[in-house]
Structure 1
């Protein structure tokens, strides 16, 4: 599992590659804890994630609860196949904002900064 992080328009993007499962969450647990201390919106880019299990869902929900309590949001982009089916089955797509890709998120981002 490879993960990359970067900022766009003051939003913190976490891009994951590979399965988002118990093994991945175990490796990322310190990072996930650190992300929960941020004061910004967090976006999970899951376009390159073919499989997610309850641990991956739990990590997203963990961050969602902490960020919303601080007035920020957690969104997910790029859901396809099994991850999308699981999000829909758990009705997470009704709670957590989901977008087809990062570009679609950025088009609706409240932090969008347009150069003048």
Structure 2
């Protein structure tokens, strides 16, 4: 019997040169390496990246570490990483570990993507 995958990763690009990485299901020690791999591929295409956590049901300390590592990689590449759509449970982990201080966090990926636009509407 094949192992059951408890996560799904998808990506898209917006009209701005911003990549969006969608996390679904669980992010834990069992799949952090896949997130690192996909993030590194995205970083070659865009240094402005949003991780959309709207469908992320579970995040443990390994998953949090993976997201912080992604932020570090983005900054080292001269870019930035924004988060969006944190559920109450995921947001609580960020608050308890004070990791929310490291990130710009938005309610949805549309707002997070728009935050990369240096031109503000008048």
Instruction: Give the TM-score, by structure 1 length.
Output: 0.83
Which secondary structure state, in structure 1, belongs to the residue aligned with residue 57 of structure 2? coil
Q: Is the 8 A contact 1:21 1:55 kept in 2?
A: yes
Instruction: Work out which of the residue numbers 87, 92, 98 in structure 2 matches 1:85.
Output: 92
Find the counterpart in structure 1 of residue 81 from structure 2: 74
CA separation of 1:111 and 1:16: change in aligned 2, threshold 3 A? farther
Q: Return 5+ residue gaps in structure 1 as ranges.
A: none
Which secondary structure state, in structure 2, belongs to the residue aligned with residue 18 of structure 1? strand
Q: RMSD over aligned Cα, in angstroms?
A: 2.2
* Greater radius of gyration (CA): 2
Shift of residue 37 of structure 1? 4.1
Shift of residue 36 of structure 1? 4.6
CA separation of 1:111 and 1:10: change in aligned 2, threshold 3 A? farther
C-alpha separation between the residues in 2 aligned to 1:37 and 1:62?
Answer: 16
Instruction: Work out which of the residue numbers 3, 12, 17 in structure 1 matches 2:9.
Output: 3
Name which of structure 1's ranges 21-30 and 65-74 shifts more when overlaid on structure 2: 21-30
Shift of residue 16 of structure 1? 1.1
Greater share of strand: 2
CA separation of 1:49 and 1:108: change in aligned 2, threshold 3 A? same
Instruction: Work out which of the residue numbers 47, 58, 71 in structure 2 matches 1:64.
Output: 71
Q: Return 5+ residue gaps in structure 2 as ranges.
A: 1-6
1:1-116 to structure 2, matched below 5 A, reads: 1-8=7-14, 9-110=16-117
